[in-house]
Amino acid sequence: MHEVAEMRLANPASQHREGARARRLLEQYRLSILQMLGAKTDGMDSDRLLLTSGGTESNNLAIFGLARPGTRVLMSAIEHPSVTTAGQYLASGGYQQNRQQHTDSLVNSFSTSGVPNSNFDVRAIPVDHDGVIRLNRLEELLKEAPTSLVCLMAANNETGVIQPFEEACGLARQYGALIHCDAVQWVGKRPCEFQKWGLDSLSLSGHKFHGPVGIGGLVLRSGVSLQPMLFGGFQQDGLRPGTESVMLAAGIAEALSLSLAFEYGLLDGMRREMEQRLLALGPEISINGAAAARLPHTSNVALGNLDRQAFLLAADMKGLCLSAGSACASGSSEPSPVLEAMGASKQVLNSSIRISLGRDTTPEQMADATDRICKIYANLQK
Ligand code: PLP
């Protein structure tokens, strides 16, 4: 990024030679990102990468841009708020007209029945106790009514639980729906096969794999028609206008390449060790989503009868940066909608914390953090 900044590039949308130089570089980064994500990059039917400000914008763009009025839109019950809230907005018929209704419903997200006066019949796809969507319910929902869009995340941000998105792609296609995948937690940690999986769109976010904050992307299958959310210039075919940052594009491309070269399996062993030590504290401790396949950098632990906010405060005092649910819900005392959708008990909802590992986390740090967590647990039990 520093190198690109030093080049003092012109606006890549400019017609002059300096603009063309910036544009060439930008397109190189775009191409390398698409290739790393398993998208099609040659021929007339190449997939596209729209650069955005991050995962939230990419998800909003996919939902508002792909959902068609008068149809059903399906979303898993455990999607990130940037998906569920956008779904709620669609269901409510628009923020302007339904400000109050929208605000009220944010808490509960969409439910199992459509909202009257909306052109979109937004429904939740339920999940099982481990947080994996029920594919049979997805098929029933698809069968019931014409569906324009299915949204299914690759892996959940609170539990790390991986979703059967390849199977979901097959079902969506069978019933003529497009499928969008929020792969913000997945990209950079696991190989991505956009074409092979059969997705229509996919979101990624730079800061989830040690790239810069403020850049993300939406990969869009060739031929899929997307309505823009922003209006302005002709950048990115007018689908996401605004001056593109070559420096941020360099950052996300380089971060993705470094991240894909890292052996994330190393984190798996560290997490397993930590979880085993925590489980040994007593039968009241459990790991949410433990029976499902999970990404290796996230652990969601229920701490028996302890209050999660009290635990997080005590942990913070001991230098541990832990969280309850997603960072977007931090500070909120509301129970996690993800754990609720998994049918968690009141005790599990009240006591669950999320522990995240990073690429730089060492076994020594993990052992030290686990010691501290065990000590805090013992102290709070007194
Ligand atoms: N989707 C998932 C699964 C996430 O974990 C996040 C961020 O935590 C987002 C979307 C939003 O991404 P961003 O923070 O880049 O807007």
Which residue do the tokens 């596209």 mark? Answer: 48
d(CA 76, CA 133) in angstroms, rounded, equals 7
Q: What mean pLDDT comes out for the span 245-252? A: 98
209 contacts 259 by C-beta, under 8 angstroms: yes
Is the distance from the beta carbon of residue 216 to the nearest atom of ligand 1 less than 6 Å? yes
Is the distance from the beta carbon of residue 184 to the nearest atom of ligand 1 less than 6 Å? yes
Ligand 1 atom closest to residue 157's alpha carbon, by position in its atom list: 5
Q: Which of 58, 78, 185 maximizes ligand 1 atoms within 8 Å of its Cβ, making it the mutation to test the pocket?
A: 185
* Segment 49-64, tens digit of pLDDT: 999 999 999 999 999 9
What pLDDT band is residue 93 in, cutting at 50, 70 and 90?
Answer: confident
Q: Reply yes or no on whether 328 is catalytic.
A: yes
Q: What mean pLDDT comes out for the span 86-99? A: 73
pLDDT of residue 380: 94
Determine the distance separating the centroid of ligand 1 and the alpha carbon of 382, expressed in angstroms.
Answer: 37
Q: Residue 244: is its pLDDT beyond 60?
A: yes
Q: Which of 157, 165, 298 maximizes ligand 1 atoms within 8 Å of its Cβ, making it the mutation to test the pocket?
A: 157
Q: How far apart are the first and last CA of the chain?
A: 51
Q: What's the whole-model pTM score?
A: 0.93
Which neighbouring-strand residues pair with 82?
none
**Amino acid identity, residue 42?**
D
d(CA 288, CA 313) in angstroms, rounded, equals 21
Percent pLDDT > 70 in the chain is: 91
- Which residues, other chains included, contact 268 with Cβ-Cβ below 8 Å and sequence gap of 6+? 296
* Segment 191-213, tens digit of pLDDT: 999 999 999 999 999 999 999 99
Determine the distance separating the centroid of ligand 1 and the alpha carbon of 215, expressed in angstroms.
Answer: 11
* Residue 74 falls in which region: left (phi positive, over 0), alpha (psi -120 to 50) or beta: beta
Better pLDDT: 349 or 105: 349
Determine the distance separating the centroid of ligand 1 and the alpha carbon of 328, expressed in angstroms.
Answer: 9
Q: Which of 186, 208, 215, 328 maximizes ligand 1 atoms within 8 Å of its Cβ, making it the mutation to test the pocket?
A: 208
Which neighbouring-strand residues pair with 179?
150
**Amino acid identity, residue 196?**
K
* Segment 122-138, tens digit of pLDDT: 999 999 999 999 999 99
* Segment 222-236, tens digit of pLDDT: 999 999 999 999 999
Determine the distance separating the centroid of ligand 1 and the alpha carbon of 159, expressed in angstroms.
Answer: 14
pLDDT of residue 112: 45
**Amino acid identity, residue 349?**
L
Q: Residue 25: is its pLDDT beyond 70?
A: yes
pLDDT of residue 14: 96
Ligand 1 atom closest to residue 79's alpha carbon, by position in its atom list: 3
Is the distance from the beta carbon of residue 185 to the nearest atom of ligand 1 less than 6 Å? yes
Q: Residue 355: is its pLDDT beyond 80?
A: yes
Determine the distance separating the centroid of ligand 1 and the alpha carbon of 83, expressed in angstroms.
Answer: 10
